Structure formats: structure tokens, C-alpha cells
């Protein structure tokens, strides 16, 4: 691990001033950044510990939306009554991620900015264009089971590993950031980027910007009843998604789909949404044919990568197609998740699911 300075500002103003210095990086829960530092993948000059800042609140907004503080822990967000009541999809996605201990430390801001889980990115003994631009991408002909089938480039086939971000993408969240230059909001759709020729740039944050909070807009009432987060992974728990799907449906009085949102995780450098797939469902009866058409539309440009078995991720393309269909069926039936976590936590809290 490299030598670094450590500062723990108590005000936003002081934190932004510290982050404006070259090589300064924010640390929140530390569950990703500290691992990267121990492996010499991240070598910040200064760690700006933001934990003392007043950015942990979760509050209702006058328009019916919700404001999630960047420093609210993933567990506190998932179990917050307003999140559970209005955005059950987000609770389900958060509880499908990591472990209870990690969720108690991990923050909302850190979750958005966690780095890829590509094996080559973490292994400083191998080339990686994301870690060391221009050095190459061994995943393309190597182990790519976890890797992208959509939106990849010749330089990078990494995926974004977050579960939370898949739900935020489906819900149309906005990420709010601040720096010494001022404040701005970034639509979730524009927050993470595709790798192109610059895969070392994960997102659209400018240097020195700190995430202060995330806002969730009000959504159609049906999205509360017809929400599903489906996560498919190598183990039943404590594993990153091979494929995940956040699905939301609003069903009109005539029994047809009046609104739909579908976001895919584990398949691209960012949560993957496609308006054509969602619009294609509107006005149709929510049946198998409609769901299969949406899945085919979402995966129409999918391309496999990686070496021969077990390296190839070709299996993810049919898996993702079937996952989309199943997630939409779950949403229609009001089955929020395929993972046990939400039910377990609900039972432990003595609440009614």
C-alpha cells in the first residue's frame, strides 16, 4: 500500500476544498476503496474521510419523491420505511447485494462509485486498460464469465457490479454532486458510461466532485405493486450478479401495460436500459409473448466474449433473455424478489411483507 495523507473534514465546504487537491479521494464505508488500496490498484495521495458530514438523511420530498443521503448506509436505506413503502424495488436490490455486515458499512454514494469486479482489474500482475490505460484487455480472450455482453469495446468488457444502481436506473434516479465549482444533478442514465476507448473513466463525475444525495422521482402507483428484482449469481448469496433485472409494471384498468421499466445489471459497463423495449410493452397485454418480445429487444445487440469454456460469457445472453421474461412475470404477480433476504429481514423485524 502506498503512503497517503488522511483528513476528516467536518463541513461540506472543508471536504470540497480537500477534494479539490490533486490526488485526493473521498472514503465513505471503505468497503471497496480500502481493498483497492491494499492491492495497489488505487493509490490516492490523500484520503478525505467524509463520514462526519451531515449527508446521511433519508427524507420525503414535497413532490412525493425521496431524497437519499450519500452517506446513508445501504442497510439503513433498504430498511427505511419510506423506501420500503414507495420504492420496494430499491429495498430488494440493496438486500440482494453483498452481506449484512458489508451493507451496514457501505454507503449509497460509495455503492454508485464501486469499481468493476473484473479479475484482471484487481490483479496488478496482468494488463488492464481500466487500471493501466493502453496496457491491454486479457478478459477478451480469457476469463469473462462475469463480463459484458452489451455496450463493451475492444478495450474493455468489464461490467458495473452494483445491484443498487440497477434499481436506481429503473426508477429514474438523479445523482446530486457538489464541488468547489458548484452543484449539479446527473440523471442516472448519464452517470455511468460505456467504456469506449477510455475504460479507466467509469462515470461522468468531474475531478473533485462529491456525491451529496440521490433523488428518486415519484413513480406510477403500479410500480409499488408490480416490482421485481431478479438476481442470478454463482452462489445463492454473497455473490455479484451474473445477470440481474429490475422490472416495474403499471397495469391499466383495461388490463394492458400502461408503463414499464426494465434495467439489466451484470451485462454492461452501466445498468442497461432500452426505451424501445419498454415502450414496446405499453398497450399490450402482459403475457409471455409481450415479455419475450421485450427481452429480445433488450438483448438484440448482445455479443459474447472471453476464451473457450469456462472463459466465455456466451451463456449470459440466453440467461439474460430468460431473466427479463421471468422478472416481468414476477413483477406482474407481485413477487418482489427471487432472493430470500427481504423476506428474512421482514420476518426478523416482525413486519408483514
Ligand X SMILES: Cc1cc2nc3c(=O)[nH]c(=O)nc-3n(C[C@H](O)[C@H](O)[C@H](O)COP(=O)(O)OP(=O)(O)OC[C@H]3O[C@@H](n4cnc5c(N)ncnc54)[C@H](O)[C@@H]3O)c2cc1C
Residues of this chain that interact with ligand X (CB under 6 A) are 25-33, 50, 70, 74, 97-98, 102, 105-107, 109-111, 113-114, 161-164, 210-211, 240
Nearest CB to ligand X, comparing residues 250 and 341: 341
Which residue number, 64 or 185, has a Cβ lying nearer to ligand X?
A: 185
CA-closest candidate to residue 160, choices 200, 131, 117, 129? 117
User: Checking DSSP bridges between strand 227-233 and strand 241-251, what pairing results, if any?
Assistant: antiparallel
Pairing of strands 241-251, 210-216: unpaired
Residue 255 Ramachandran class (φ > 0 left, ψ -120 to 50 alpha, else beta):
left
CB of 243 to ligand X, least distance (A): 13
How far apart are CB 71 and ligand X at their closest, in Å? 7
Quote the CA–CA distance of 32 and 5 in Å, as a whole number. Answer: 18
Q: How far is the CB of 221 from ligand X (least distance, A)?
A: 27
CB of 324 to ligand X, least distance (A): 19
Q: Taking Cα atoms as reference points, which of 81, 86, 83, 80 lies closest to residue 220?
A: 86
| 256-to-280, 281, 329 alpha-carbon distances in Å | 12, 9, 14
Nearer to ligand X, 129 or 159 (CB): 159
CB of 94 to ligand X, least distance (A): 8
Q: Which CB, 50 or 92, lies closer to ligand X? A: 50
Q: Which residue is nearest to ligand X (CB)?
A: 110
Select 198 or 203, whichever has its Cβ closest to ligand X: 203
Q: How far apart are CA 21 and CA 212, in angstroms?
A: 18
User: Could you tell me which residues come within 8 angstroms of residue 17 by beta carbon, excluding any fewer than 6 positions away?
Assistant: 9, 180
User: 211, 110 in Cβ contact below 8 A?
Assistant: no
- Tell me the Cα Rg of the chain: 20
**Residue 226 vs 316, nearer CB to ligand X:** 316
What strands, in cross-sheet order, belong to the sheet with 257-265? Answer: 227-233, 241-251, 257-265
Residues 6+ apart with CB under 8 A from 62: none
- Name the phi and psi angles at 67, rounded to 5: -115, 125
The nearest distance, CB 220 to ligand X, in angstroms, is 26
33 versus 294: smaller Cβ distance to ligand X:
33
What's the closest the beta carbon of residue 173 comes to ligand X, in angstroms? Answer: 15
Nearest to ligand X of 114, 338 (CB atom): 114
Supply the minimum distance, in Å, between the C-beta of residue 185 and ligand X.
14
Amino acid at each position: 500500500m502506498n503512503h497517503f495523507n488522511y483528513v476528516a473534514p467536518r463541513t461540506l465546504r472543508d471536504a470540497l476544498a480537500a477534494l479539490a487537491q490533486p490526488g485526493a479521494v473521498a472514503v465513505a464505508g471503505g468497503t471497496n476503496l480500502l481493498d483497492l488500496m491494499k492491492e495497489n490498484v488505487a493509490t490516492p495521495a490523500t484520503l478525505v474521510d467524509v463520514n462526519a458530514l451531515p449527508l446521511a438523511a433519508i427524507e420525503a420530498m414535497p413532490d412525493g419523491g425521496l431524497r437519499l443521503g450519500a452517506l446513508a448506509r445501504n442497510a439503513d436505506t433498504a430498511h427505511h420505511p419510506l423506501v420500503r413503502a414507495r420504492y420496494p424495488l430499491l429495498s430488494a436490490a440493496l438486500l440482494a447485494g453483498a452481506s449484512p455486515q458489508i451493507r451496514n458499512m457501505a454507503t449509497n454514494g460509495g455503492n454508485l462509485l464501486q469499481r468493476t469486479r473484473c479479475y484482471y482489474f484487481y490483479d496488478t500482475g496482468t494488463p488492464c486498460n481500466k487500471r493501466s490505460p493502453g496496457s491491454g484487455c486479457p478478459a477478451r480472450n480469457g476469463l469473462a464469465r462475469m463480463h459484458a455482453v452489451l455496450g463493451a469495446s475492444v478495450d474493455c468488457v468489464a461490467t458495473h457490479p452494483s445491484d443498487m444502481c440497477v434499481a436506481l436506473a429503473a426508477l429514474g434516479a438523479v445523482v446530486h454532486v457538489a464541488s468547489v465549482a458548484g452543484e449539479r444533478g446527473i440523471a442516472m442514465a448519464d452517470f455511468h458510461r460505456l467504456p469506449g476507448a477510455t475504460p479507466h473513466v467509469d462515470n461522468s463525475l468531474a475531478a473533485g466532485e462529491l456525491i451529496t444525495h440521490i433523488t428518486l422521482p415519484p413513480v406510477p402507483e403500479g410500480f409499488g405493486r408490480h416490482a421485481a428484482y431478479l438476481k442470478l449469481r454463482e452462489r445463492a448469496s454473497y455473490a455479484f450478479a451474473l445477470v440481474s433485472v429490475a422490472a416495474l409494471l403499471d397495469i391499466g384498468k383495461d388490463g394492458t401495460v400502461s408503463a414499464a421499466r426494465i434495467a439489466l445489471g451484470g451485462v454492461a459497463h452501466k445498468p442497461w436500459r432500452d426505451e424501445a423495449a419498454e415502450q414496446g410493452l405499453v398497450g399490450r397485454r402482459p403475457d409471455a409473448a409481450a415479455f419475450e418480445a421485450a427481452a429480445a429487444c433488450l438483448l438484440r445487440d448482445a455479443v459474447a466474449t472471453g476464451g473457450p469454456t469456462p472463459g466465455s460469457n456466451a451463456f449470459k445472453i440466453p440467461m439474460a433473455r430468460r431473466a427479463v421474461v421471468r422478472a416481468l412475470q414476477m413483477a406482474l404477480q407481485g413477487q418482489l424478489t427471487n432472493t430470500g433476504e427481504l423476506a428474512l429481514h421482514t420476518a426478523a423485524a416482525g413486519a408483514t411483507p
